[in-house]
Amino acid sequence: MRETRKNEKLTGIITEQDYSDILFNELIISKTKISKTRFKNIHFKNSQLGNDSEYNDCEYVKCKFFGQYSTLGLSTKYNNCKFVDCEFIGVMLFEGSKFHKCTFTGVIKNAIIRDSKAGLFGPKIAVFNDCDLGGVIFDNLNLYGKIGLSNCILPKKGIRKFRNDNNSLIDKADEICSKIDNMDKVESGIIFKRDLKSGQNPIILDDIFLDSFFPTNGSRSIFDSIVKGFEITE
């Protein structure tokens, strides 16, 4: 059973600590450097896990990050951290967080990872450099713009990748949708909306999203005709 701790604030330097079986509700971490610390079976609800903060060589095991106001840090760096069998749930969870040489397993659900286009917190964006996402399940994850997945290992299953060099796939979507008069084109128009996907190459869509997004066979058929010949299968 988890201990509930509410409205706590952490700041300063935290090193080689162990936290387990806790529900942190509305935890705020600010101007903090956390190193070699382990979090096991922790639920972070409506928590802000870093303003001008840094995590080094930390481990999160079976943790859950969720809640309408939760964020992993609007200006926070994670270096060489491991997230093992964790759940990340929330639209704005990753805004402003930067991950370097981190490893993830678990699920990322209903989140947005985007480039510098305006987001919920303005110009703050998520960046992943040299991270391993191979063991993650994307569940309705929205990737907008060029995104920041530099030299990252992508999930081994559950995603589809589509070539979009020079926005060629977006151009094809615009061309096909422009010739269709009925509402079946709406979903493809949203998926390949130029303002959201321009510059993203490849375009990455998860199977869970694709299996639930199309209301009719006709709308799914339009999507399939757009991506024909563009899917990356290797």
Q: Which residue has the higher pLDDT, 90 or 145?
A: 90
**pLDDT surpasses 60 at 118:** no
The average confidence (pLDDT) of the chain is: 93
Q: What is the pLDDT of residues 158-198, one digit of tens each?
A: 999 999 999 999 999 999 999 999 999 999 999 999 988 88
Beta bridge partners of 137: 107
Q: Which residue has the higher pLDDT, 117 or 211?
A: 211
Contact 19, 37 (CB under 8 A): yes
Look at residue 191 in the predicted model and tell me its pLDDT.
96
What is 1-157's CATH number?
2.160.20
**pLDDT surpasses 80 at 20:** yes
Look at residue 123 in the predicted model and tell me its pLDDT.
61
Q: What is the mean pLDDT of residues 147-156?
A: 85
Contact 64, 44 (CB under 8 A): yes
Q: Parse the chain into domains and list their residue ranges.
A: 1-157, 159-234
DSSP state of 38: E
Look at residue 121 in the predicted model and tell me its pLDDT.
52
**pLDDT surpasses 60 at 110:** yes
Contact 53, 71 (CB under 8 A): no
Q: What is the mean pLDDT of residues 104-116?
A: 90
Look at residue 179 in the predicted model and tell me its pLDDT.
95
- Nearest CA to 161 out of 230, 208, 228, 225 is that of 230
Name the E strands within 36-173: 38-45, 48-56, 59-61, 64-66, 75-79, 82-89, 97-100, 103-109, 112-114, 127-129, 132-139, 142-144, 149-150, 159-162
